[in-house]
Amino acid sequence: MPDAGLMILICVIIVALTFDFINGFNDTANAIATCVSTRALTIRTAIIMAASLNLVGALISTKVAATIGTGIIDPESVSQLVILAGICAAIIWGLTTWYFALPSSSSHALIGGLIGAVVAQAGFKKLQWLGIKKIILALVISPIAAAVVGFLFMLILLWICRNQLPYSVNKNFRRLQIFSAAIMAFSHGTADAQKSMGIITMALVSYGALNSFTVPHTVMIACALAMAFGTAIGGWRIIKTVGKDIVKLQPIHGFCVQTASAAVILGASAFGLPTSTSHVITSSIFGVGVSKRMSAVNWKIAHSIVWAWVLTIPASGVVAFILYAVLHAFSQFFK
């Protein structure tokens, strides 16, 4: 009989890499939508650039991975089924929001999934409440910070360019936007690929393959490649939602959105705080749009996106709770 724990561990690794792939697939829009919508880059060129820099960014640090892997639950006190149910729930929610072309948060989905699965196994007592509060606080504050930074940065740029012709401004910022898109793609790699690194390392500790939570280099490389490959495939539907449907962007606006978003994400990653790339860049677009005028923002689309944000943690938590119950019953049946 094969080792059941090992089989579940292999499933966790495969599903975690799939989650990373979907994250890259789903979040491609966050790094390149604005520069595509302003025609600074073609879609093909933008995706190649984003995939490459996602890969580089993912290999820089493991601070966010440690927060995800140890800040929500103690990896030594939960089963492999908890981890598997949690990440499967996050994937289901990510695919659901992708189908409806809504830029949701993989971070929120993953956190909700892990919480729901742990509660299904052992109730609320196994949750690391201090870590969860820290993570959720970061996820709540980062979009607000992005909106404020985007708004203020936009006002500064408009003041600097107040005496220039619109054609000259667009021409210059179309070039600068390529640089800002590159920084945004790099920051996405530093934040999002580490979530799967944290999950896989958590599973290795839970199984007993690791004595302490230290992300192996092979795990880093595998997660970085999975995200880069997902980015290369591209989330074409969400590119349209983020790049065009929320607010009509000019190159100066795209540069502002990407620079403000990258600054918030890189700052949070430096402290090991997970952020939602979707939330940060969408909030930055809101801030930039409001700097033009309130009516510049498509508030109907914004309303739908905010509802997707609010529902993500409880929805993925419920899905994970049900998945754990099903997987646990299935495992007991074959004992």
150: containing domain: 4-333
pLDDT of 304: 66
**pLDDT band per the 50, 70, 90 thresholds, residue 243:** very low
The burial class, CB within 10 Å (0-12 / 13-18 / 19+), for 152 is middle
SS3 content of the chain, % helix, strand, coil (to 5): 80, 0, 20
**d(Cα 203, Cα 212) in Å, to the nearest integer?**
11
pLDDT of 174: 82
pLDDT for 24 beyond 90 = no
pLDDT for 168 beyond 60 = yes
The burial class, CB within 10 Å (0-12 / 13-18 / 19+), for 47 is buried
pLDDT of 249: 67
Range 58-80 burial, b when 16+ CB lie within 10 A, else e: bbbbbbbbbbbbbbbbbbeebbb
Length of the chain: 335
Smallest CA-to-CA distance from 113 within 218, 21, 202 is with 202
At 138, the amino acid letter reads A
pLDDT of 1: 44
**pLDDT band per the 50, 70, 90 thresholds, residue 85:** very high
Residue-wise pLDDT for 120-161, tens only, equals: 998 888 888 888 888 888 888 888 899 999 999 999 998 998
**d(Cα 238, Cα 299) in Å, to the nearest integer?**
17
- Average pLDDT over all residues of the chain: 82
pLDDT of 86: 92
Residue-wise pLDDT for 245-296, tens only, equals: 545 667 888 889 889 999 999 999 888 888 888 788 888 888 888 877 666 6
Rg of the chain over all Cα atoms, to the nearest angstrom: 20
Task: Output the pTM of the full model.
Answer: 0.83
pLDDT of 248: 60
pLDDT of 324: 93
Determine how many CB atoms are found less than 10 A away from the CB of residue 85. 30
Q: Do residues 314 and 83 lie in contact, with contact meaning Cβ atoms separated by under 8 Å?
A: no
What would the mean pLDDT of 169-197 be, rounded to a whole number?
86
Smallest CA-to-CA distance from 220 within 245, 249, 246, 199 is with 199
Q: Which of 10-14, 82-86, 310-314 is least confident?
A: 310-314
The total of structural domains in the chain comes to: 1
pLDDT for 178 beyond 80 = yes
Residue-wise pLDDT for 49-62, tens only, equals: 888 888 888 888 88
Residue-wise pLDDT for 190-230, tens only, equals: 888 888 899 999 999 988 888 888 899 999 999 989 988 88
